Chain A
Amino acid sequence: MMRSRIFQKGLISRIFALALLWWLLTGGAMHSWIIGIPAILLGLYVHAYLPRISPFRFSLKGAFFFLLYFLKQSFLAGLDVAVRAFHPKLPLNPSLVSYHYRLTNELEVVFFANTISLLPGTLSTHIEKGCVLVHTLDQSQPTYDNLRDLENRIGKVFGEEFL
C-alpha cells in the first residue's frame, strides 16, 4: 500500500500554518477548535491531493519591491477606471493584445496573469501556447512595455533574470 501523501515533507509547518489561519479567523476562541481541528485535517487532506507545482526560488527583496510597485499601480488602476466610469463621454478605446511571455514556472505565469488584471487598463483573458491574451481599455497606452516591465519584476520575485 502506498504511504498517504499527507505525510510528505513539511507536514509540521503545514499544520502550523493552518492552525495559525484558524486562530486568525476565530480570534482564538477555545471552543472553536472543536470545528478547527477537523477543518485543519481536511485542509491537510485537500492539500495533499492538489496538483503539484514545480519548485521555484523566491527573493524577499524582489517581493518587497514588487509589493511597493503593486500598491502604486493598484492605486493608479482604480483611479484610472473610476475617472473613465464617471466621465460623461466615457473615454474607452479597447483592443486585444497578445503577449508572448518568458516566465517558465506555471506559478509565475498564474501570478503574472492575475496581476495583469489588477494593473491600469489591462485584463488577462486567456493563456495559451506561451501567450497571454490581454484586453486593454486604451489603445494609446504602451501596453507592451508595461507588460514587459511587469514580467521583469515578477521574474525578480522568483529569481529569474531576463536579457
Chain B
Amino acid sequence: MSYSGFASILFTGLGLVFFIAGTVGLLRFPDVYTRLHALTKADNLGLGMVILGLLLNTNRVDILLKLLLIWLVILFSSATCCYLIAQTGLNMKIKPWEKK
C-alpha cells in the first residue's frame, strides 16, 4: 500500500473515532447545552479528519475543491443549527445543568 493510502485510512479512521465520541457525548452528557458541545466540536473534528483522509486519496482538483466546499458548508450549518437549538433552549427556559 502507498504511503498516501495508509495516511488516508489513518485519518478517516481517526475521524470516525471522533464521530463516535460525539455520539457518546450526546448520550452521556446531562442537558441540551452540554450535548450541543459534544455534537458540534467532536463532529467538526471528525469531519475535518474524514475530509483530510479523502483529500489524500484523490489527485483531481475538482474533487479536492468539492471536498473543501462540503467541509465549509457543514461547518457553517452545524454552528448555525447549534446556535438556534441553544437559543430555543433558553427561550423555553431550560436551565443549564450545574455540577452539584
Chain A positions within 8 Å of B, measured between CB atoms, are 21, 23-25, 27-28, 71, 74-75, 77-82, 84-86, 90, 92-96, 113-115, 117-118, 120-121, 123-126, 133, 135, 137
Instruction: State the main secondary structure of chain A at its contact with B.
Output: helix
- Are B69 and A24 within 8 A (Cβ)? yes
CB pairs A–B below 8 angstroms (27 shown): A24-B65, A25-B69, A71-B48, A74-B41, A75-B48, A77-B41, A78-B18, A78-B41, A82-B42, A82-B45, A85-B42, A90-B28, A90-B29, A92-B30, A94-B97, A94-B98, A95-B96, A96-B96, A117-B79, A118-B40, A118-B41, A120-B41, A126-B86, A126-B90, A133-B90, A135-B86, A137-B34
Taking A24-B66, A135-B33 as contacts, is the C-beta distance between A78 and B46 under 8 angstroms? yes
Contacts of A133 in B (CB 8 A): 90
Give the tally of cross-chain contacts (CB within 8 A). Answer: 120
B residues 35-87 in Cβ contact with A at 8 Å:
36-38, 40-42, 44-46, 48, 62-63, 65-66, 69, 75-76, 79-80, 82-83, 86-87
